[in-house]
């Protein structure tokens, strides 16, 4: 199933006019505002890969939604499934989700995994960690579980983002249950803020409130699969999936309510209207929204030297957009946008050790692809 090959992709307008077969055989490069970009396939045969993280030695950890963690070596060989990974609820959008390294990984070897976890009442998103020793996970422990567990296969969220202050954020979907996202008594439709061991930071906005879960940072969210910390401001940025239209780019603030399902820039799937966010000024609004949707999944702020024109941009994976959505910004607001069409559903985006950009494609035959300047 392994090979190294070169793929490249036509412009988005071209992709809309050609057949799926043609999309499977794209051109040799994609044109961007930074010039022509080469796209190499480093690995394929992954079943719906979801998250990735680079090890200090340059190897790449990759999750597959079915419940496997793999290691992509520097020669592009893909390991057998890593042992020690938790059992996951592999139904619908559930499964093994994100992977992230502890900021002190060099010393503690800790790897964090988010995943859909079965239990009484159904399933919910969980976060755990273990040590990577001899290419297996040792002593894995669950440090947080979303409450309550509910029936259904949708909206698990699951992105992990480590802050510059020694804490982390975990994004949680509302499990397609709508109204509970407005309630502080559960974790549905929230972003939670945790210490690295899963304990609650003392300055969380709802600590010691009897009617609220202590872990909650912000609420009123729908389903967030994109999250990253801005390298200059240290602020969390998330891209959130809307319903029929209305994907959002948010800068979540402690204690704020982001309105779902009371308001949205989109509509319900049956076409019925949802009030726009300005009708309820007590809710926090997005700094940008997309209709038609891009279906955001995965995000990284680019800080490398390989694509100097991209420095400071948020690179957001687009599932329905089949592209990287590059968002330029001033740290607090959006100043521009570029679509980098790749002809496949993009599940995650990462910056490699040398400054190249890596993406995962969300397919039954999923791929790891690398973007670099066309020489």
pLDDT means over runs of 10, the chain (375 residues) = 39 35 50 95 97 98 98 96 98 98 98 98 98 98 98 98 98 98 98 98 96 98 98 98 98 98 97 97 98 98 98 98 98 98 97 98 97 91
pLDDT value for 168: 98
Q: Of how many residues is the chain composed?
A: 375
Q: What is the rounded distance in angstroms from the CA atom of residue 45 to the CA atom of residue 42?
A: 11
- Chain CA centroid to CA 192, Å: 15
pLDDT value for 346: 98
pLDDT value for 121: 97
| Percentages of the chain per state (helix, strand, coil), in multiples of 5 | 5, 40, 50
pLDDT value for 28: 63
Q: Residue 33's closest CA among 336, 354, 316, 370?
A: 336
pLDDT value for 5: 42
| DSSP helix/strand/coil, 301 | strand
Report the number of secondary-structure helices (H) and strands (E) in the chain. 3, 25
193 catalytically annotated: no
pLDDT value for 54: 98
DSSP letter string, 342-369: -SS-EEEEEE-TTS-EEEEE-STTEEEE
Catalytic residue among 155, 187, 193, 221: 155
Q: Which helix (H) or strand (E) holds 22?
A: helix 20-23
Domains, the chain, with CATH or none: 5-373 (2.120.10.30)
The tokens describing 293, both together, are 């949707």
List the Cα angle 46/108/117 in 5-degree steps. 45
Q: Residue 170's closest CA among 209, 141, 127?
A: 127
pLDDT value for 10: 39
pLDDT value for 375: 77
Determine contact, residues 344/367, Cβ cutoff 8 Å: yes
Report the predicted TM-score, pTM, of the whole model to 2 decimal places.
Answer: 0.92
- Chain CA centroid to CA 254, Å: 20
Determine contact, residues 249/334, Cβ cutoff 8 Å: yes
CA neighbours closer than 13 Å in the CB half-sphere of residue 105: 18
Q: Residue 347's closest CA among 372, 366, 328?
A: 366
Q: Residue 260's closest CA among 148, 183, 352, 348?
A: 183
Whole-angstrom CA distances from 166 to 89, 169, 199, 302 are 29, 11, 12, 21
């Amino acid at each position: 199933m392994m090979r190294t090959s070169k793929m490249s992709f036509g412009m988005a307008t071209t992709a809309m006019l050609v057949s799926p077969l043609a999309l499977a055989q794209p051109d040799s490069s994609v044109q961007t505002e930074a010039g022509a970009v080469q796209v190499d396939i480093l690995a394929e045969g992954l079943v719906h890969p979801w998250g990735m993280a680079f090890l200090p030695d340059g190897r790449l950890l990759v999750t597959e939604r079915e419940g496997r963690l793999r290691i992509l070596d520097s020669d592009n060989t893909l390991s057998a499934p890593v042992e020690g990974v938790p059992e996951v609820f592999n139904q619908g959008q559930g499964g093994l989700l994100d992977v992230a390294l502890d900021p002190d990984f060099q010393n503690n070897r800790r790897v964090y995994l988010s995943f859909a976890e079965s239990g009484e009442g159904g399933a919910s998103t969980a976060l755990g960690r273990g040590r990577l020793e001899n290419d297996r996970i040792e002593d894995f422990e669950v440090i947080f579980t979303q409450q309550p567990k509910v029936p259904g296969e949708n909206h698990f969220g699951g992105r992990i983002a480590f802050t510059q202050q020694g804490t982390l954020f975990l994004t949680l979907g509302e499990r397609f249950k709508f109204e509970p996202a407005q309630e502080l008594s559960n974790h549905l439709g929230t972003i939670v803020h945790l210490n690295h061991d899963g304990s609650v930071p003392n300055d969380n906005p709802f600590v010691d409130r009897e009617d609220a879960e202590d872990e909650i940072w912000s609420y009123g969210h729908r389903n967030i699969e994109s999250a990253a910390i801005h390298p200059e401001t240290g602020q969390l940025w998330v891209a959130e999936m809307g319903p029929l239209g209305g994907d959002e780019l948010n800068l979540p603030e402690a204690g704020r309510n982001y309105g779902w399902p009371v308001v949205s820039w989109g509509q319900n799937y049956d076409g019925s209207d949802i009030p726009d966010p300005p009708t309820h000024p007590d809710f926090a609004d997005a700094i940008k929204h997309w209709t038609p949707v891009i279906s955001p999944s995965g995000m990284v702020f680019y800080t490398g030297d390989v694509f100097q024109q991209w420095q400071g941009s948020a690179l957001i994976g687009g599932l329905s957009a089949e592209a990287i959505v590059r968002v330029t910004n001033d740290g607090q607001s959006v100043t521009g946008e570029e679509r980098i069409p790749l002809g496949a559903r993009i599940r995650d985006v990462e910056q490699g050790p040398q400054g190249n950009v890596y993406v995962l494609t969300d397919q039954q035959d999923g791929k790891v692809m690398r973007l670099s300047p066309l020489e």
